[in-house]
Structure 1
Amino acid sequence: MTTTSRVAWVGLGKLGLPMAARIVGAGHVVQGFDLSAQRMGLAEAVGIRAYADLASAIEGCTLVFVSIPDDKALLGLTLDSGDLIEKMAPGSVLIETSTVSIEASARVAAAANKRGVAYLRSPVSGNPVAAESGTLSAMVSGPRDALEQAIPVMQSFTKAQYWLGEDEQARFAKLAINLMIAVSAGMMGEALAMARKGNIGWDAMLELMADSAVGSPMVKYKALPLKERDFTSTFSAAQMAKDLDLILGCAHGAGVPVPLAAQMREAYASLIGTGYGEDDYIATVHHTERLSGLAALQSAPRG
């Protein structure tokens, strides 16, 4: 047990709930809040103390974690109707784990600074499975002393915490990583379509990719569901499109040309437009197959 025994968690979605549950498992009291009654029920089932209002959920908590879907939700929660920052006690720490824009994050930082709240931008890399196993990676920027205060709790759901600077560095880092993931998904789609055209067995090509020089953790992780032609979403094509919009905005604002990001944004727009927006982001595979005139595989061919 650490000196921090009670924390708040706001936003109990696909990532937020398993992260908060890990904190409970580490022996801390977690006070939770979510707008969804269903998510609140799931939270109570894993030992989180669910509160019907935001102010009660954060009461007495020095550390307040947030996991929400986008800029609109972040600004609504922290600055607008939710008014989270004004409800937080001066001297407390706000740890925001989502993927949002530089501009929205900077607005929250200004409000937190005015209130006397330390603001840690702490987006995480990983999926719900990694959240459940406590193997997410956190990219963190903000006050270093606030991170030191939060690390004993963050270690329950992350394998590493990378402090990158005092300002918005973590936001840039998260968007840069997601750019690499999106482009990798496009690359896998094209490579697998080429392999099918060359009459290479589906399983054989996936195994080769995973064992090759480009066999990144992402490639290895996606090889298993791809063998089964399972496109059930861990992070959807629509979510990746949202992140690519953030990436394009960030890069253009910084004067960085990102033609690969623009190309992948169009690919995901095509997936969404043809009804596959809720498929996993690796649906670039079946998207490229269709563009290549390849018939959909109902099950993995052996060869």
Structure 2
Amino acid sequence: MTNIAVIGLGIMGLPMARNLVKAGHAVAGYNRSPERIEQLVADGGRAATSVADAVADADVIITMVPDSPDVAAVAGGEDGIIANAKVGAIWVDASSIRPDVAQQVAADARAAGLRPLDAPVSGGEQGAVDGVLSIMVGGEASDFEAALPVLEAVGRTIVHVGPSGAGQTVKAANQLIVAVNIQALAEAILFLEAYGVDTDAALTVLGGGLAGSKVLDQKGRKMLDRDFAPGFRLALHDKDLGIVTGAAREAGIVVPLGAHVAQLVGSTVAKGDGGLDHSGLFKLTLAAAGRE
């Protein structure tokens, strides 16, 4: 049994914390919304009253918060991770943030005697619930090996991809691929519906061929049903595509499809749909074709 602190019990963080409890670990959870803490307690976790309280006795700390400023906020300050975690604790940041911010907070944490890993995840809410997330990990190889038994309680494909910041770079690439696939799927379903094809049958056969993907498997039905209850919110994907386009510019490269889809996602968010699942990008595709 390992003492684990989970900070951020949202759509992804809460099921991850629950799986850690199921695996036999002692899990303390902290979240700005107390009802999420209560749900963890009902499943056998402990309610922490602050970040400092959560991390005080933790061997492993996992953060799952929305954006770069949120990670910096929970890391720093008198109540933060760096000031209150014990020396030698492993800090796994599972948030999706800018690679340069990941490098900076890792340097600050390492200077304080912590063992930081940037370990963003892919797989959406269902992947978190099922404990089969894909986890791309940046940091020291020895720290990765030490954290692996804990990560195996929440993920299936867990790969060390390089030094601090590398995990976030790979996650940005993941979000680029996912966004382009969602837009392609949206256009394909619009095309099928325009010709009156049996869309259920069409997606079944497409899913079995080269066009098949996890995006098709997980998002096709949501588009057909116009059910955009959030598994991963458009507002967060908008943030992630901002990371992609900004990092591409810094690297001196162009990502034409990524830049175009980033504009489409941004437009959807600007229309007030940022709280929808990212499959809700289909709404903009329908509107452009006059088929809202």
Q: State TM-score, norm by structure 1.
A: 0.91
Partner secondary structure for residue 272 of structure 2: coil
Q: Which residue of 2 aligns with 1:228?
A: 225
Identity %: 29
Partner secondary structure for residue 274 of structure 1: helix
In structure 2, C-alpha distance between the alignment counterparts of 1:216 and 1:81, rounded to whole Å: 45
- The total of aligned residue pairs comes to 292
RMSD value over aligned CA atoms?
1.6
Q: Which residue of 2 aligns with 1:50?
A: 47
Structure 1 counterpart of 2:150, from 153, 162, 169:
153
Cα offset for 1:81? 5.9
Structure 2 counterpart of 1:254, from 244, 251, 255:
251
Q: Which residue of 1 aligns with 2:125?
A: 128
After superposing on structure 2, the runs of 4+ consecutive aligned residues of structure 1 that deviate more than 6 Å are: none
Cα offset for 1:122? 0.5
Structure (1 or 2) with the larger CA radius of gyration: 1
Where structure 2 has 5 or more consecutive residues not aligned to the other structure, the ranges are: none
Q: Which residue of 2 aligns with 1:272?
A: 269
Cα offset for 1:185? 0.8
In structure 2, C-alpha distance between the alignment counterparts of 1:195 and 1:138, rounded to whole Å: 34
Q: Is the 8 A contact 2:7 2:64 kept in 1?
A: yes
CA offset digits 1:139-160 (Å, max 9, x no partner): 0111111111111111111112
Alignment of 1:110-259 (within 5 A): 110-259=107-256
Q: State TM-score, norm by structure 2.
A: 0.95
In structure 1, C-alpha distance between the alignment counterparts of 2:78 and 2:188, rounded to whole Å: 47
In structure 2, C-alpha distance between the alignment counterparts of 1:82 and 1:106, rounded to whole Å: 21
Residue type of the partner of 1:31?
A
Q: Which residue of 2 aligns with 1:19?
A: 16
In structure 2, C-alpha distance between the alignment counterparts of 1:275 and 1:141, rounded to whole Å: 34
Q: Which residue of 2 aligns with 1:70?
A: 67
Residue type of the partner of 2:2?
S
Q: Is the 8 A contact 2:86 2:114 kept in 1?
A: yes
CA offset digits 1:57-101 (Å, max 9, x no partner): 112222111111101111111024643112122211111001000
Q: Which residue of 2 aligns with 1:106?
A: 103
